Structures are given as structure tokens and as C-alpha cells.
A = this chain, B = another copy of it.
């Protein structure tokens, strides 16, 4: 049994929840408000970021990329052909490239600013940056999402899944980040049919269900958030 220190709308944490779900591993999610800089949390992860995975017999595992590696190295072999991080080197490189693309670049340019401005800032005290969202930041992120969606669409038209023939960490990372901002209605799905069709496939996986049941008081989900046929 794992414990995951996370925030329900932290895109990196959603990525880890999808991986755990794909492996059928049970997890106890515990909400962490990183902006409160809780001392016990900082002892587990001095970087002060979610997600952090707690498992028996090993140190706390901090950060999406490190948790993904840990889960692959511990549980990957037993799923054989369905391994989310493929074993052939060219595929590994492409999966890791795309995983970093979403967890770093998409996060920085799109999902982190949107989730921070539109969700986290509601809960943050004013003296640490809470308050109304910055419309400039939101506007920039909504511009950025368009080229990312086009890139996803291009990959989805070229390949069966984003990194190749099979479902991999690349798909789960992309879908995790998109899901967080899809809740806010910030994905212009009409702009790319291929991206939308790919997302519909990922969204209908059982591992996705726990994400779709997240609801935030005062911030209603977009009309199509839970709709599998959006």
C-alpha cells in the first residue's frame, strides 16, 4: 500500500496516480498544500514539491520522474509487453523525451500557471501570493496550450500512441497535464481532432476514473470534463 502526498489538481501527481492505476496498485492519496511549506513534508522532500510517494522500506520518493522510474524498476517487469517504459533503447529515449516534455515544458508553459492561478491561489494566504488570478499569466498559458495541442495532434496522427505503437508513460504524462486544465475548460479541443480522439481513448481507461471524480468546491468542472464522448 502506497501513500501519495499530492494535490488533486497537481498535474505531476495525476501522472503518478495514472501509473499506479495502470499497475492496479492501491494508493492512499493525502492532500498536501505545498505553499504551506509544512515542516514534516519538507523533511520528506526538501524541494517542497508534489508528488511524493511513500512506500515501505525505502526513502520517500520525490518528484514525478523519479517515482515513474521507481515504479517501472519495481513493477515494470511483471506486466511484460504492457510495460509503460519500454525496454528497447530507442523507445526508452522517445518515451523519456516526451515524459520530460510534458512534465517540464508543458508544465512550465501551460499547466502550472493555469492550476496555480485558477486553483492554488484560492487557497493561498495573500502574503504568500494568494488572491485573484493574474489575467496576463492565464492568457499566455492559453496561447501556449494551442501549440502543445497541435504537437500532440501531430504525434497522434503519426503514431498509434504518442511515443509509438503502445501505451506508455508519454501518454499518461500528456493526459495527466491535460486533464488538470480540462477541468478548468482550458483545452481548445475543437482545434485538433486527432489530439481529441487520442485523449478520448486515454480518458476512457479505468485508471482515469479517480481523476474524473475530483471536484473542487467553488470551481465547477467544465461541461465536458467527465464526458467520455466529449
Contacts and interface: CB of A to CB of B under 8 A. Distances in A.
Nearest to A108: B108
A94 B90 CA distance: 27
Given A74-B89, A89-B70, A97 B63 contact: yes
B66 A96 contact: yes
The copy count of this chain in the complex is: 2
Interface in A103-161: 104-105, 151
Contact of A58 (B90, B101, B104): B90
Contact of A100 (B65, B92, B96, B101): B65
A22 B58 CA distance: 28
A36 B89 CA distance: 30
Contacts of A69: 69, 92, 96
Interface residues of A, number: 26
A43 to B, nearest CB: 13
A60 B176 CA distance: 26
B100 A59 contact: no
A66 B164 CA distance: 18
A93 interface: yes
A8 interface: no
A61 interface: yes
A12 to B, nearest CB: 12
A73 B72 CA distance: 14
A97 B53 CA distance: 13
16 contacts: A58-B89, A58-B90, A59-B90, A59-B93, A59-B94, A61-B93, A62-B100, A63-B97, A63-B100, A65-B96, A66-B96, A66-B100, A69-B92, A69-B96, A73-B89, A73-B92
Closest 8 CB pairs of A and B: A66-B96, A59-B93, A58-B90, A58-B89, A61-B93, A62-B97, A59-B90, A47-B105
